[in-house]
Amino acid sequence: MNLTRRKFMVSLAAMAGAGLAAACVRTQSHSTPTERRPIPDVTGELRLLVLGDWGTGKWQQRAVAEGMHNASRELGGFHAGLMLGDNFYPSGVTGIADSKWQTHFRQVYDTSELGNLTWHAVLGNHDWLGDVQAQIDYSASDPHWSMPGHYWRHDFAPLSAASLTVLGIDTDPHYNRWGDQMIWLESQLQAAQMGGRPRIVIGHHPIYSYSRHGPEAHVARDVKPLLERYGAQAYLCGHDHNTQVMEKNNVLYAVLGGGGAGLYDTDAGVLTKFWAVKHGFGVLRVTQASLKLECRDLHGVLLYDTALQLA
């Protein structure tokens, strides 16, 4: 099958799946759940949801939320979520009182399975078109939203064998403290390495991508060497609206940009382990022995998984 025909068939399949999902969720309005699953204890496995490019307020975003809800029921609940930027389309939020906090965030992810989760977020380029500081300040208004600053560290399950250090960074070219952020990132990666913790970095722009936007030059130039030098396990991002999993020099690179915005076509490259032009999300499953990344579609169906063994 030639490239043009293959792309057509992929697009046709995506449209068919999208139409079915739209029929299911387009007319749904938010209904506050009567009860919400408590956050489970971390007993051997830490489970985190991961998605980027999500905040459209449209049926695709709600369909992905339903898929995450389904995955939670399958796996026995999640411990938190990671959001990879472009949190609010088309131009961020106007302030902490913007109605999008309800229509694009809280109401979408307030299900009986997801409603108690805290979502740890970084900024994307669309967020930079609005009030960036409001997304940081909103952390004090809603326990379900966490963005302590442009860059931050969070240690998940620090007392468990299934612990994970996540370092969130602001990859937007408009951010004028990039140098300070890189000094901080190196210090945190080094400290986590010395502490023996598995560690990942999340940002919005890709280091590797074979889709519309491709790699972001300043991120690839400055972040990639730090990941390799300090033995980070993965870099997770969005920006290109699809799913791509790649690996280079023992670091896993994943584009998880199918959270709700319109999809971008992509192809396999020399580093590609998996790709899909579908709405969906990622799941991180961390144990003492391994860090597994799952790619799931908007129904929560597992499409692909890969695991890194932890020393």
What's the pLDDT at 28? 52
pTM value > 0.85: yes
What's the pLDDT at 41? 95
What's the pLDDT at 181? 98
Percent of the chain predicted with pLDDT > 70: 90
What's the pLDDT at 20? 46
> Which residues of the chain carry a pLDDT beneath 70?
1-29, 311
What's the pLDDT at 29? 64
Measured distance CA(3)–CA(9) in Å, rounded: 10
The tens digit of pLDDT for each residue in 103-127 reads 999 999 999 999 999 999 999 999 9
* DSSP line for the chain: --HHHHHHHHHHHHHHHHHHHHHHHTT------S--PPPPP-SS-EEEEEE-S----SHHHHHHHHHHHHHHHHHT--SEEEE-S--STTT--SSTT-THIIIIIIHHH-STTTTT--EEE---TTGGGS-HHHHHHGGGT-TTEE--SSSEEEEESTTSTT-EEEEE----TT-TTHHHHHHHHHHHHHHHHHTT--EEEE-SS-SS--BSS---HHHHHHHHHHHHHTT--EEEE-SSSSEEEEEETTEEEEEE--SSSPP--B---TTEEEEE-S-EEEEEEE-SSEEEEEEEETT--EEEEEEEE--
What's the pLDDT at 197? 85
Length of the chain (residues): 311
- 47-309 fold: Purple Acid Phosphatase; chain A, domain 2 (3.60.21)
What's the pLDDT at 2? 46
Residues forming beta bridges with residue 146, ordered by sequence position: 120
